[in-house]
Amino acid sequence: MSAFEQPVHISRRTAASLWQEYRIYSDRLELQSWAFFHTIVIPAREILEIEARPSVFGGSKGITWGIKLDMTDLHRHVLVRRTTGFWKRIAFTPDNPDEFARVCQSIMD
């Protein structure tokens, strides 16, 4: 991990993400979280699954269970399931959930 490493993808800050930034690097995700007062780092090797999910109003999957970093239930969002860590399921709302999930899948082992 280099201080000068450029992200593969950066999600634009929006009201739905509570103005937080979500970044994909070649080997990890970095999820900025105002609620937890730090950035959550998820190594790519620890990601079991990542998927774009509908809001509670737009799909048959219903409410997303897990830690929610922003307004996930009200907007289309991304759910990450990981192998380790205190929270195994983390949901967040990047500016383009489908694109974010697709790019993230490309860095997974």
Domain 9-107 bears CATH identifier 1.10.3470 = no
Quick: pLDDT tens for 16-46: 999 999 999 999 999 998 877 889 999 999 9
**What was the pLDDT predicted at 76?**
93
Q: In what order do the strands lie in the sheet with 89-92?
A: 47-53, 77-82, 89-92, 67-68
**What was the pLDDT predicted at 65?**
85
**What was the pLDDT predicted at 7?**
95
Quick: pLDDT tens for 48-72: 999 999 988 876 666 788 899 999 9
| 90 within 8 A of 79, measured Cβ to Cβ | yes
